[in-house]
Amino acid sequence: MHETYFTGGVFSSSIDGGRAGADIELAHDAIKASAKDGQLFTLRYSDCNVEMGGFNNKMVFCRNEDRSLTIFTEDKKFSAALAFAAGGLLDDQLQAGKNKVKSDKRSGRNFVLICMVCLVVGLTGLYYGIKIAGSAAVDALPVSVDKQIGRHTFTGMELGGEEIHDPVIVGAMETIVERLAPHAALAGLDYEVHVVRSEQVNAFALPGGIIVVYTGLIEHADQPEQVAGVLAHEISHATLRHGLERVGQSLGVAAAVNLLIGNVEGLVVLGAEVFKLATVNSYSRGQETEADSEGVRMLHAAKIDPLGLAQFFEILKEEGNGLPASLEWISTHPDHQARIINIRGLVAELGPQDYEPLDVDWDDVRRRVDDMN
């Protein structure tokens, strides 16, 4: 059984203000509305045009042909009661109204979805746009920025041992670097070699060309070409600007924004902090492979046998089982067996070369290092 009486309102020019609240009755052949001011309005079902709408899209409006009279209500039960009272006369209009409400809801949801997708795409694009622009800005930076970051990092850095100034040992390292330097992929770096007394089998190069070699590394090398291989690999990190790439990745959008607004000093300070907080040798696997390739190319061009690098890996691999803690350099360079194979492949690809021995008295260097212990 459907209800007959509802609360709603009326629009009519005969009402003061054009609108009034009303009590609505679904009579035998018409909708009757009794306005608050006492006026009575009648709308026959056969003359009724039904619409759905209102603020919440749940109101039912019944209008006459010229829209001079509108009777409406928000009552949820009105729609079904009207269909019943009109004897099926208004079913099509009521169904069309319901379909319109559903369509409106669907359109609203789609609109929100499209806006959200646009927002997400826009923000993602902005994020990656800044990163790409930042990366391009890194490439465009002068080498002086690398030097500043390297110097800033090296100043006050805990090296893990006393720096030694033995002219034979330091001179040997400088000789190796001098042979490699002319063949570096990036011109303008100032190479500066520091030798540190420590059991660590380690070496690293900071952005800008500061190179640190530990005596532990020299002790484990049978030939100077093996040390040259390690140094070529480390110098490649500096010449390929892996340090700045790492700063960019660690600082993300902050570095990109700093670069884009031209705040190079800010980047230098932030970049040095990144190096101080992380291990100096913590490059990505991709960067390590790239440094291997570039190191081999540099050694080949400098007429230093690149197989020295592979041989050093093999020495460490053999000795490594008993000395895991001290093998700092190899521990930051994982999967060395694969790298030995890779290096040998690279050397084979480069073709024949007249390798020239390094002008270093390696026995004397090793003896002096041993004497220090």
Partner 1 sequence: MDYEFLSQPAASVARMTMEEGESLTCEVGAMIAMTTGFEVETTTRKRGGKGGGLGKALKRMFAGESLFLNHFTATEPDQSLIIGPQMLGDVMHFPLTGGSLIVQGSSWMASDTDIEIDATWQGLGKALFSGESMFWLKCTGEGDLFLSSFGAIYEVEVDGDHIVDTGHIVAFEDTLQFSIEKAGSSWIGSFLGGEGLVCRFQGQGRLFCQTHNPPSFGQTLGPKLKPR
How far is Cα 58 from Cα 346, in angstroms, rounded to an integer? Answer: 75
Say if CB 370 and CB 162 are below 8 A apart: no
Minimum distance of partner 1 from residue 17's CB (angstroms): 7
Does 5 bind partner 1 (CB under 8 A)? Our answer is: no
Give me the DSSP letters along 326-340.
T-HHHHTS--HHHHH
Spatial CA neighbour of 253 closest among 142, 363, 129:
129
With a CB cutoff of 8 Å and minimum separation 6, the contacts of 279 are: 332
Does 111 bind partner 1 (CB under 8 A)? Our answer is: yes
Does 66 bind partner 1 (CB under 8 A)? Our answer is: no
Rounded to 5°, the CA angle 272-274-277 comes to 110
With contacts defined by CB under 8 A, name the span among 53-61, 222-230, 264-272, 302-310 that binds partner 1. 53-61
Minimum distance of partner 1 from residue 123's CB (angstroms): 15
Minimum distance of partner 1 from residue 8's CB (angstroms): 8
Does 70 bind partner 1 (CB under 8 A)? Our answer is: yes
Spatial CA neighbour of 302 closest among 125, 178, 215, 165:
178
Per the rule left: phi > 0, alpha: psi between -120 and 50, beta: everything else, 297 is alpha
Does 283 bind partner 1 (CB under 8 A)? Our answer is: no
If the CB atoms of residues 118 and 136 are measured against partner 1, the closer one turns out to be: 118
What radius of gyration do the chain's Cα atoms show?
Answer: 41
How far is Cα 345 from Cα 185, in angstroms, rounded to an integer? Answer: 21
Greatest CA separation found in the chain? 120
Does 312 bind partner 1 (CB under 8 A)? Our answer is: no
Minimum distance of partner 1 from residue 3's CB (angstroms): 19
Single residue of 54, 129, 188, 262 touching partner 1 by CB under 8 A:
54
Give me the DSSP letters along 168-229.
HHHHHHHHHHHHHGGG-SSTT---EEEEEE-S---EEE-TTSEEEEEHHHHHH-SSHHHHHH
If the CB atoms of residues 59 and 133 are measured against partner 1, the closer one turns out to be: 59
With contacts defined by CB under 8 A, name the span among 65-73, 194-202, 272-280, 290-298 that binds partner 1. 65-73
If the CB atoms of residues 60 and 169 are measured against partner 1, the closer one turns out to be: 60
Does 55 bind partner 1 (CB under 8 A)? Our answer is: yes
Say if CB 127 and CB 120 are below 8 A apart: no
Minimum distance of partner 1 from residue 254's CB (angstroms): 22
Query: How many angstroms from the chain centroid is the CA of residue 152?
Result: 26
Q: Is 162 helix (H, G, I), strand (E, B) or coil?
A: strand
Q: Is 264 helix (H, G, I), strand (E, B) or coil?
A: helix
Q: Which residues from 14-33 bind partner 1, rule CB under 8 A? A: 17-22
Single residue of 13, 38, 56, 324 touching partner 1 by CB under 8 A:
56
If the CB atoms of residues 35 and 195 are measured against partner 1, the closer one turns out to be: 35
Single residue of 72, 78, 283, 312 touching partner 1 by CB under 8 A:
72
Does 167 bind partner 1 (CB under 8 A)? Our answer is: no
Beta-carbon-side half-sphere exposure of residue 83 (alpha carbons within 13 Å) = 14
Minimum distance of partner 1 from residue 11's CB (angstroms): 6
Single residue of 34, 42, 47, 53 touching partner 1 by CB under 8 A:
53
With contacts defined by CB under 8 A, name the span among 108-116, 272-280, 297-305, 341-349 that binds partner 1. 108-116
Q: Which residues from 76-105 bind partner 1, rule CB under 8 A? A: 104
Minimum distance of partner 1 from residue 83's CB (angstroms): 21
Does 338 bind partner 1 (CB under 8 A)? Our answer is: no
| Chain contacts with partner 1 (rule: CB under 8 A) | 9, 11, 17-22, 36, 51, 53-57, 59, 61, 67, 70, 72, 74, 104, 107-108, 111-112, 115
